[in-house]
Amino acid sequence: MDCSYFDAGVCRSCTLMGVPYAEQLAGKDRHSRELLSPFGDAVWLPPVASAESGYRNKAKMVVSGTVDAPTIGILDEAGRGVDLRECGICAPGVRAALPVLADFVTRARIEPYSVPDRRGELKYVLVTLSPDDELMVRFVVRSEESVGRIRALLPELLAALPHARVVTVNLQPEHKAVVEGEREIVLTAESSLVMRVGGIPLRLRPQSFFQTNTAVAEALYAQVAAWVDEVSPASVWDLYCGVGGFALNVAAPGRRVVGVETSTEAVRSARATASAAGLPLVAFRAGDATAFALGAKTAPELVIVNPPRRGIGAELAGWLEGSGVPSVVYSSCNPKSLAHDLARMPSYRIRTGRVLDMFPQTGHQEVAVLLERARD
């Protein structure tokens, strides 16, 4: 993949840009295998490749510049806007929306936020594309000052972006690097975007996490479902479940599945999907994964964990170690934190694993492992 932004030195976010893709994939596979080799003689499956470009279903774009000439992209070291509306790793449908949104900023007279001056309204535009080419658009602003103008011009925006199904305004008043605030104002009739993945119509609400690479996410869900079916547990926990991707994909007759997630919006999404799919044995709880595990009276036969980059941490790892749970599926976006967690769980060994390239052109990767408790 070629990138004019990278070549010009204005954006270096994709640290592997210019490295042949086959070399990128082989390097990530080798790195994970070597890093995790102390934790069992695993059978490693071939890595899952991604499209080299156009794979990101979501763009978190900083808005800067002026009302009449807004930039949509990132900030440079001085806090000035760098326009990246033609970013090649974003899906075509996302890229097509960005110029329209830049024009809307001008027409709605929403002043971009200036980090150096700590002045302005609009901090980010967040755009998510579904597999059906539908869009969720979120404006992150500091106050309600611009909400009325955005609402008044919404018909024009929807005419210019006919695939937009969800449009919201998120309020984030603080002068710090936090992407979004707690309050969300939904402007459209629809409040969730349907992400049809693996035949399951996941409902993505604002402030809900979803993998940024839809095709590789589908492969990840399928791989984990295959491992779970092979183990054939009667009960499963899906901790850090997001909108329920793993929980809903491992559902089976007679199998009780509980998903746990801190985001109440994500839990609402997951419950709606489970209800629409007629899955009475799949339930979701809003709360902290570690607190849920520590407070449970009984443990399931299999636990799935899909934590943020920091990993599950010492407390949950310690609970798993002493729980007696026979099998664990750990999906990680950071092999280093996965290795740290596995070192805290010496009773488990990696039975099989797989690298999935969720983030081409970068050094990040997803790795999933099936862990089995060692027999005495």
Question: Contact, 88 vs 1, CB < 8 A?
Answer: yes
Quick one: which of 239, 241, 373, 247 has its CA closest to 293?
Answer: 239
Q: Which two tokens stand for residue 113?
A: 């936020």
Among left, alpha and beta (phi > 0; psi -120 to 50; other), residue 312 is alpha
Q: Residue-wise over 240-254: b if at least 16 C-beta within 10 A, else e?
A: bbbbbbbbbbbbbee
Q: Which two tokens stand for residue 297?
A: 């009276």
Q: Residues for the chain: how many in total? A: 376
Active site amino acids: 333
The whole-angstrom separation of Cα 200 and Cα 274 is 10
Question: Contact, 200 vs 273, CB < 8 A?
Answer: yes
